[in-house]
């Protein structure tokens, strides 16, 4: 996929065709988020029915997303309120202080987030 020679399966297709690996991906991402106390961007591959996690890093996010992620992580008991405040960077707050357009197309992707 990284080389652009294959198109990845959509998560809905993966869930129906290889449910055990789909569950393993979700469980692994949840474990990584608990460990790093942050939303994670993960890269993985599946070869011969085996899941290989290639790398993970803190996911990039907009200011609004940073606030939502911090609040969600407090609600899930993953971080304290104090830790959540430190997760929102000054640049995130700056973004929120500027006028914003409503993104009507984003609503259809709302439930496509892997781990919450």
Alpha carbons 25 and 75: distance in angstroms, whole number: 22
pLDDT at 5 over 60: yes
Neighbours of 19 (CB within 10 A): 10
Poorest-pLDDT segment among 5-19, 22-36, 82-96: 5-19
**pTM, full prediction:** 0.72
pLDDT at 50 over 80: yes
Share of the chain above pLDDT 90, in %: 72
pLDDT at 13 over 70: yes
The pLDDT value recorded for residue 110 is: 60
The CATH number corresponding to 1-59 among 3.90.380.10, 3.40.50.880, 3.30.70.1450, 3.30.470.20 equals 3.30.470.20
pLDDT band at 1 (very low <50, low <70, confident <90, very high): low
Locate the domains of the chain by residue range.
Answer: 1-59, 61-100
> What is the tens place of the pLDDT at every residue in 79-105?
999 999 999 999 999 999 988 777 777
């Amino acid at each position: 996929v990284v080389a652009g020679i294959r198109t990845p399966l959509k998560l809905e297709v993966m869930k129906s065709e290889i449910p055990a690996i789909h569950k393993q991906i979700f469980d692994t991402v949840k474990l990584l988020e608990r460990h790093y106390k942050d939303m994670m961007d993960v890269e993985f591959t599946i070869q011969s029915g085996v899941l290989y996690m290639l790398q993970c890093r803190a996911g990039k996010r907009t200011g609004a997303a940073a606030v939502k992620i911090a609040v969600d992580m407090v609600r899930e008991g993953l971080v304290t309120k104090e830790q959540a405040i430190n997760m929102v960077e000054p640049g995130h707050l700056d973004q929120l202080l500027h006028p914003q357009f409503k993104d009507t197309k984003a609503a259809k992707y709302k439930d496509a987030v892997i781990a919450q």
